[in-house]
Structure 1
C-alpha cells in the first residue's frame, strides 16, 4: 500500500514497479482487510461504497455473501419521545436499517467480528484483483473465523490473496507459503512440499500446534 516506501529492493505487480505510479492508482487496485477493522461514522452504504460507485443491488449481494445482513435488521438507535414532550440532546437519532443503518464512530455499535465481516464485504464489493488479509481473523471467535475462511475461499477465487497470519489453519489452503524467521525469508514453497519435509520450519510449527492441541484435550 506504500504507507512506507521501501528502503531497498522493489515490489512489482504485472511488471510495474509500484513506486513509479501514483498512490491513487496503486491503492485503487488493492483491497485490504486489516487486523483492526476500520468503520467510519455514517451509514453502512457510505462505509461500503464511499465513492458511490456501486448499485444497491451490488451492495446487497456482497452483504448476503458474507452473511452479515442479520446485523443490519435493527436500527442503531430509536428515538423515544419523553413524557414531557421535550427532546433530549442525545443523538443522532437514526432509525434506518439495511444500507441506511447508522454506524457510530469507529463502528462501536458492532462487535469486532461484525466489523471484520463488514470489511470483508467492502473488499468483495470493490472486486479488486489483489486482496491483503493482515491478521484478518486474529481477533474474532472461531465461528466468525470459519465464516470468513469459507467466504474468502468461495468469493475471491479470481484474486491474488496475500495472507499474513499466525493461525496456521488460515493459510493451509494457500498456493504458496512464505515462512519468516527473524525478519528474513526462511522458506517459500507449497504447503505439501513444506509438510513433506519434516525438518522444515513450517512442518515443525504444524507439529507443535498439534501437540499443544493434544495437551489441551
Structure 2
C-alpha cells in the first residue's frame, strides 16, 4: 500500500493502474483518487465529529451528509450527544462493517487484498457474481438483507 500511494517509491518495477504508471501522476491527483478501507475501522478516542472532521473544516450539515452516505445518520442522531458523542477506544462502541461494505459497493472498482496480495480486482457487480470470491463472502457475512441491499447498490452503479 505504501508504494501504491507513493509514500515510498519502489526501488524497481512499476505500479500500473489501467496501464498508467502511477509514478507519472502528481501526488495530490493520485492520492485523491485512491481510498483504503481497512478491515478494522480506524477511529480516534474522541467525538463522532472529530472522527469525521479531524481538522474541524466542515459545517455540521456536511458531517450529517457524510454520516447519511455511510448509513450511520440514524444511529448517530439517536445518540444523546449526537455529533459530540464519545467514541470509545478503537471505536468499540460503533459497529460499522455493514456501512463500509455498503459504501464500497458504490465504487467504480474494488481491489481485494489477502495477506498483502491482490486476489480480486473488478467492479462491485462482477465481484458479487463471483462464487467463492472474498468480496462476495464479506458481503454475504453482513446478512441476507444487507447483502441484497449491497447487490442493489452495485447493480444501480452500472
Q: Please report the TM-score for the alignment, with normalisation by the length of structure 2.
A: 0.54
Structure of higher CA gyration radius: 1
Pair 1:19-2:23 in alignment: yes
Task: Choose from 24, 27, 38 the match for 1:34.
Answer: 38
CA-CA distance at 1:21 after TM superposition: 4.8
Distance 1:36 1:25, change over 3 A: same
For 1:51 and 1:130, the matched residues in 2 are separated by: 28
**Which of the pair is proportionally richer in strand?**
1
Q: Report how many residues are paired.
A: 126
Match runs of 1:41-56 below 5 Å: 41-56=45-60
Distance 1:151 1:14, change over 3 A: same
Root-mean-square deviation over aligned CA pairs: 3.8
The equivalent of 2:99 in structure 1 is 117
1:121-160: CA deviations, max 9, x gaps?
6x8xxxxx87646467728421344444445555xx4xxx
1:80-137: CA deviations, max 9, x gaps?
xxxxxxxxxxxxxxxx22x2222111111122xx25526866x8xxxxx876464677
Structure 1: tracts of 5 or more residues without a match: 76-95, 124-128, 158-172, 174-217
The equivalent of 1:102 in structure 2 is 86
The equivalent of 1:210 in structure 2 is none
Decide whether the 8 Å contact of 2:101 with 2:150 is kept in 1.
no
The equivalent of 1:203 in structure 2 is none
The equivalent of 1:58 in structure 2 is 62
The equivalent of 1:71 in structure 2 is 75
Distance 1:138 1:147, change over 3 A: same
Decide whether the 8 Å contact of 1:29 with 1:130 is kept in 2.
no
